[in-house]
Structure 1
Amino acid sequence: MLWLKQNIIDYMEDDGFTRLDLAFDFEDDLSDYYAMTDKAVKKTVFYGRNGKPETKYFGVRDSDRFIRIYNKKQERKDNADVEVMSEHLWRVEVELKRDMVDYWNDCFNDLHILKPAWTTLEKINEQAMVYTLLHEESMWGKLSKNTKTKFKKLIREISPIDLTELMKSTLKSERKTIAKAD
């Protein structure tokens, strides 16, 4: 042990994090929220026995940023047989790797976790289109780039809640604590 300490460990440099995981818990039912990014990323959704979304993944596990949104209450019940007392408990986890670790304070800039109020739209054709896009993800692929941009903007505008703003402000308030650990 002494040789190891003197010849190896003492010469190792602390270059900072190679991976950083951020987790945010919400006592709200996020299955009704719509998550989207400004960039093109792979999105995978798993549905629970009730037919509602239970887990959503953005990106792929090997990418520099991997986002998962899941029903933490259900996960605790399924994996640890633990009953969470609050009515809802959802978690948003952001896994940052490689170069993205250095940009942790910007990791939400292109993400939106929204509660769209599509019924507030005045035009019935816009209501129908937004409803379809919210409930049939594959329809996004049939739209032109300009139409995608138009409807992403519209969905952001009709959403009174964007949880990413709350996560950004939490990160900002904890910035010094996170930077110290880096």
Structure 2
Amino acid sequence: MRVEFNPNKLTHEEMLWLKQNIIDYMEDDGFTRIDLAFDFEDDLSDYYAMSDKALKKTVLYGVNGMPETKYFGVRDSERFIRIYNKKKERKDNADIEIASEHLWRVEIELKRNMVDYWNDCFNDLRILKPAWATLESVKEQAMVYLLLHEESTWGKLHRNSRRKYKQILQEISPIDLTELMKLTLRENEKQLQKQIDFWLLDAKREV
């Protein structure tokens, strides 16, 4: 049996009912998916996710030609990353107007083995804003721009070249969002672990 729910949309009474009447009767229970979401009051349309592992990138554009949603990885993988315009999503889907000029969300969907390592899911990840135009070499500018916009180009490079350009991307990116997300996760780690334990601990053992 699989139970899907968003804890943020359940009242405390509903959470207790779900735990006492369904979850506690499961002999082998555990999480198969955990989603982490981080909101930024900034325009993330030109940010780029980079990992030690290969990440397929898919970009969806709006009618104005600007990126509205970026996917990194594949939906079936253990870690799937979305970066999207939350302000526009709320306006389009719920007709809710967000006061902030910008509101973008980074969602990290964790499945299977990654679920158990949710608090270490950033270790090999960088979400950067590469300032490719600051490079002095026109050749390097052109190559970095190509790598940012044509994901398949990474696979055509020798591993030493891939290492070189990943290092360049980090050096020309003044902001790494993963550092902010790591800090936020550490500040809320105890509270999140408490929520996880609530669902996994047997009510009989808690008494």
Answer yes or no: same fold by TM over 0.5: yes
180 and 10 in structure 1: CA distance in 2 versus 1, 3 angstrom threshold: closer
1:23 pairs, out of 34, 37, 45, with 37
Q: How many residues align?
A: 177
Q: Please give the alpha-carbon distance, in whole angstroms, between the structure 1 residues aligned to 2:170 and 2:190.
A: 30
What is the DSSP-based 3-state SS (H/G/I as helix, E as strand, rest coil) of the residue aligned with 1:69? strand
Deviation (angstroms), 1:140 = 2.4
Equivalent residue number for residue 131 of structure 2: 117
**What's the CA shift for 1:14?**
7.2
Structure 1: distance between partners of 2:166 and 2:151: 13
User: Which residue does the alignment assign to 2:169?
Assistant: 155
**Aligned with 2:72 (options 38, 58, 78):** 58
In structure 2, which of residues 182, 185, 194 is the aligned counterpart of residue 168 of structure 1? 182
| Residue 13 of structure 1, CA deviation | 4.5
Distance 1:81 1:21, change over 3 A: same
Give the superposition deviation at 1:45: 1.2
What is the distance in 2 between the residues matched to 1:11 and 1:80? 36
Report whether the alignment pairs 1:78 with 2:106: no
Instruction: Using the TM superposition, give the Cα deviation of residue 10 of structure 1 relative to its aligned residue in structure 2, in angstroms.
Output: 5.8
Deviates more, 1:69-78 or 1:109-118: 109-118
Give the fraction of aligned pairs with identical amino acids, expressed as a percent.
77
- Unmatched tracts of structure 1, length 5 or more: 1-7
The secondary structure found in structure 2 opposite 1:151 is helix
Q: What is the CA distance between 1:100 and its match in structure 2?
A: 1.1
Deviations 1:11-49 (CA, angstroms, capped at 9, x unpaired): 535744222111000111000212222201322111111
The TM-score, its normalising length taken from structure 1, stands at: 0.87
1:127 deviates by 2.0
Scaled by the length of structure 2, what TM-score is found?
A: 0.77
